[in-house]
Structure formats: structure tokens, C-alpha cells
Chains A and B, each alone.
Chain A
Amino acid sequence: MQLVIFFVLAAITTVAGIIMVSADNIARSIYSHVLALLGIAGIYLLLYAEFMAGVQVLVYAGGVSIMLLFALMLTKPAKGVIRALDHPRRVPAFITAVVLFGLLSFSIFQAKWPLKVEPSRVMTPEVIGKSMFADYVLPFEIVSVILLVALIGAVVIGVKGREDTDDEE
């Protein structure tokens, strides 16, 4: 039963991923991105990682993709006009893709994958919280500082753009 569910979820994720990179409509590609993320959340659930699945849905499917869509609507005319997602720099893109594929598949084949999850190792929010704020407090703080820097950077860029348009006017 679990295997069947896994294959269904994996198929959904993979197909959605393929649609995401091959669709010539950005909005559709973002929606299939959401579907792929939800499929991954389903796989987390299958591995008893409830909290991870929740975070995946809340942050990626519900947060990041909405930001992507929002940005899309701010930048593009709303007509649903489709501009082919193509770029003249195909060769560097191809090389990057091959290298990334190689690196990822190398690390995937190198790693040892536990095929069974013992219920004792299930990550509850308590366990995650304790290890995050006790064992990994320094990385956690560094990540939050990086996020803060990104936030301030975005504000600075936004304000700068606004000043420029004011000058032109």
C-alpha cells in the first residue's frame, strides 16, 4: 500500500516537474511547481515527517509560490499572453544543467538511504525545536541574519528604484 502511494506521489511530482520546466506559460509552470512541492510534501508524510510536510506546504507551496505569482502579476500584462520561455544562451544553460544533474545524481548514488523509518526516530515538533535551539543554535542564528540581510537588501533596492523614477519625473 505504502509503495503504491509512494509511486503515485513520485509520478505526480515528476510529471509536475517536467510540466514546470517545459510549459511555455509562466503561470502554468508556477502552478505545476506548486503541485510538485505538494507531491514532495506527500512523500514527507509517507515518511512520518508530519512537521516537515507542514513546513513544506506552508513555506514553499503556500508562501514562496504565492510570492512568485505575485511578482509575475506585477511584471507582466494580465492578458495571459504567452511569451516562449527561451533564451539564446542555450549552450551554457545546457552545460550547467548537465553539471548539476551529474553532481546531484553522484551525491544521490553516494548517499545511503534508509529504506525504513523507525517510529522511534519520528521527528516531532518538540524534538526539532530542541535540537534547533540547543544543538544547532549558531547555524540557526546565522541563517536568520542572512534572511535579515536579504530583507534589508530588497528594501534598499526597492527604495532606490522609486527614487530613480521620481527623478525622471
Chain B
Amino acid sequence: MLSLGSQFLVALGMLIGILIILLASMWLERKALAHFQFRLGPMRTGYHGLLQPIADAMKMVVKEMSVPEGVDVILYKTAPFIVFIPAFMVMAVIPFTATIKAADLNMGIFYVMAVLSISTIGYMMAGWSSHNKYSLLGCMRSIGQFVSYELPMGLSVLAVVMMAGTLNLNSIAQAQSCNWNIFRWYIFKQPLAFIIFFIALNAEICRVPFDLPEAESELVAGFHVEYSGMRFALLLMAEYVGLFTLTSICTTLFLGGWYGPPVLPGLVWFFLKTFSLIFILFWTRATLPRVRADQLMSLGWKVLMPAALINVVITGLLIMLKVY
């Protein structure tokens, strides 16, 4: 048990670390998207626009936080925090390496699923209290999306949990420990679960093929239409924190966490894998068009759900037959 002071320091360190990761992934997204579209992206602030996110953040901080007329003020003001805090709380259980981790919870992955479900309430709060039809439509879509993709996501995680025999993220990563034999990673034993998890992850963080809740061309900006200044920044940050935490959960569950061929240290492996996943998400964003609402629902309920259920059954059979 660490003393209170050092716990505080660890928390502060993680906060600064995640802010750097946040800014880095925002920069990376803008640059990646620009290059996918044969543009250069931000170039003027710092080397190849490296300081652009900091400039953006400064702008956000000094902007006025307007409160439109007719909003439910208490709910309107609390909603960004309800969205942001759970997204950040997930960080607590992510094992970056065997030693760098904030909390070693026995119900790690279960905690992640539980905490993530709270931020949905924040979206609902933001959309409903804004007193704007676009926000309301956006938040209703996001709820529908979250509810239908949380189930296949949970079921695909279940297959991994069945194989590892534990809910603890640290132990799940250790079950995939490897040197050169990377075929111990669960992505090779559970390819279907990985695909389902990755699609559901994409839907959970509302990124492009599944960005219906904030479809610009239909809904202006969805549930955060009425937000400005630091409150908007919180909602935006929550999105990027969600991007990072969910991809790092994916790394831990399927890509062996910090384990890899012993040419690089564990932390480097972890971030390499996570940022590759993030890059794939940017890539999909640049490549695919948005799905329609009915396509979204039928993909979730008629394809991913049965596939995830079948995967659980097959995994159970294979474990019973002692193949795994």
C-alpha cells in the first residue's frame, strides 16, 4: 500500500501523461487525415504543426462558456463532467507494464464495462438538457448505439475472460506472455472476438463509420451542439480519452498487453500496439462513409450479436475439450 502522498503523485503523473497522449492523438488524427486526403494538415505552429493541439487547447480555455436560453442549467453544467470522469476512471485499471499501473483490480475488465456505462448517462444529460432538437436526436441515437454495441462487446470480452480464467486485466495480459512466439496473443486464438470487439469499440467511441450521434451533415454536432469553451473541450477530451482507453483495453485483451519480442521494452510495445490500433481507427475514418441508422442496428443485433454468442459457445466447447 502506497502512502497517500505517493498515490497523489502517481495520479498526477497519470493525469499529465494522459493529457500528453490526448494532445498527441489529436495531432496524429489531424495529420493522418490530412495525409490520407493529400493535404498537409497543420504546418505552422512548431515542426509540422506539433504545437497545434496546445494552441487549440489555449483557445478553448480562454473562450467564453455560453449557456443558451431554456437549458436545464444544473444538468447542462454537470453533463460534461459525467461524460469525462468515467472515461478517465477507466485509466486506473489499464496495465501499461507489469509494474506501471494504478490499480490492480480483481474485477478489472468488469469495472471497465461498468464505468463506461455511466458515461452514457452523461451523453443523455448533455443532449436532453441542451433544449435543442439536434442535441436530443443526437443523444437518442447515441443511447441506441451504446446499448446495442455494449452487448456484443461484452460477449466478445467474455470469450477472452473464459480463456484466461480471470477478470483481472493484469492476469489476462500475463496469460499472453511471450518472447518471440507472438501466437500466444489472444488475437490469434480469438480472431472473431477481436473483430467483434474492434467494431463495437469503434461504435462505442462514435468514430466515423458509426458517428451517427454527431453526424455533422444531419445533426450539426449532435449532443454537444450547445456546448462551448471549456465544457466543449471536456466533451472532446472525453472522446479522445475514450479512444485511448478502449484501444489500450483492446491491446491488453487481444494483443498481449506489454508483451512482445524482447527487442523493445514493454512500455514501448504497449504504446506501439495501442497507437497502431488508433491509427487503424483514423484510417477507417478516412476511408469509410457513415452507415445509416438501420444498417447500424442490423449490424449490431443481427450480425455481431449472434456471432459473439456463437463465439462464446465455441470457446466453451474448445475449453471443455481441452484444446485451449
Contact check, B136 vs A28: say whether CB atoms are below 8 A apart. Answer: no
Docked-complex contact A54 and B117, CB < 8 angstroms: no
The residue from B72, B111, B120, B140 contacting A62, defined by CB atoms under 8 A apart:
B120
Cα–Cα distance between A106 and B317 once the two chains are bound (Å): 49
Interface size on A, residues (CB 8 A): 26
Q: Is B143 an interface residue (CB 8 A)?
A: yes
A14 within 8 A of B: no
Q: Which of B75, B111, B120, B133 contacts A31 (CB 8 A)?
A: B75
Q: How many A-B residue pairs have CB under 8 A?
A: 78
Interfacial chain A residues near B143, Cβ < 8 Å:
66, 69-70
Other-chain residue from A28, A50, A78 in contact with B107 (beta carbon distance below 8 A)? A50
Interface string of A124-136 (1 = CB under 8 A from B): 1100000000000
| B70 interface residue per 8 A CB criterion | yes
Q: Which of A57, A66, A73 contacts B136 (CB 8 A)?
A: A73
| A33-79 residues at the B interface, CB under 8 angstroms | 34, 38, 50-51, 53-55, 57-58, 61-63, 65-66, 69-70, 73, 78-79
Is the CB–CB distance between A57 and B140 below 8 Å?
Answer: no
Interface size class of B (residues with CB under 8 A): 20 to 34
Question: Inside 8 A of B124's CB, which chain A residues have their CB?
Answer: 66, 69
Contact flags (1/0) for B108-119 with A, using CB distance below 8 Å? 001101111110
Query: A137 CA to B136 CA in the complex, in Å?
Result: 43
Whether the pair A73, B140 counts as a contact (CB closer than 8 A) is yes
Any B CB within 8 A of the CB of A92: no
Of the residues A50, A55, A78, A124, contact of B128 by C-beta under 8 Å: A78
Assess the B118–A57 pair: CB atoms within 8 A.
Answer: yes
* Chain B residues whose C-beta falls within 8 Å of the C-beta of A12 in the assembled complex: none
Which of chain A's residues have a CB closer than 8 A to the CB of B146?
A: 66
Distance between Cα atoms of A125 and B116 in the complex (Å): 20
User: Which chain A residues border B144 with CB–CB below 8 Å?
Assistant: 70
Residue contact B167 to A62, C-beta cutoff 8 Å: no
Interface assignment of A10: CB less than 8 Å from any CB of chain B: no
Q: A27-B75, A125-B167 are in contact. Are A58 and B128 (CB under 8 A)?
A: no
Judged by a CB distance under 8 angstroms, whether B147 is at the interface is yes
Residues of B close to A66: CB separation below 8 A: 117, 120-121, 124, 143, 146-147
Q: Specify which of A28, A57, A78 is in contact with B114 (CB 8 Å cutoff).
A: A57
Q: Does A119 contact B (CB under 8 A)?
A: no
Asked whether, in the complex, the Cβ of A31 is within 8 Å of the Cβ of B117, the reply is no
B110 contacts across to A, CB distance below 8 A = 51, 54, 58, 125
A61–B129 CA distance with the chains assembled, in angstroms: 19
**B128 surroundings in chain A (CB, below 8 A):** 27, 69, 73, 78, 80
List residues of chain B with CB within 8 A of the CB of A80: 70-72, 128-129, 131
Query: In the bound complex, how far is the Cα of B143 from the Cα of A117, in angstroms?
Result: 38
Interface flag for B125 (CB, 8 Å): yes
A125 to B124 alpha-carbon distance, docked (Å): 31
| 8 Å CB contact of B118 from A53, A61, A69, A125 | A61
**30 residue pairs from A and B, CB less than 8 Å apart:** A27-B72, A27-B128, A28-B75, A31-B75, A51-B110, A54-B107, A54-B114, A57-B114, A57-B115, A57-B118, A58-B114, A62-B114, A62-B121, A63-B117, A65-B121, A66-B117, A66-B120, A66-B121, A66-B143, A66-B147, A69-B128, A70-B140, A73-B128, A73-B140, A78-B131, A80-B70, A80-B71, A80-B128, A124-B106, A125-B106
Q: Residues of B with Cβ closer than 8 Å to A? A: 70-72, 74-75, 105-107, 110-111, 113-118, 120-121, 124-125, 128-129, 131, 133, 136, 140, 143-144, 146-147, 167
| 7 A-B pairs closest in CB distance | A62-B117, A57-B114, A58-B114, A78-B136, A54-B114, A54-B110, A69-B124
**A63-B117, A125-B167 known, 12 other contacts, Cβ within 8 Å:** A28-B75, A51-B107, A51-B110, A54-B110, A54-B113, A58-B110, A61-B117, A62-B118, A78-B131, A80-B131, A125-B106, A125-B110
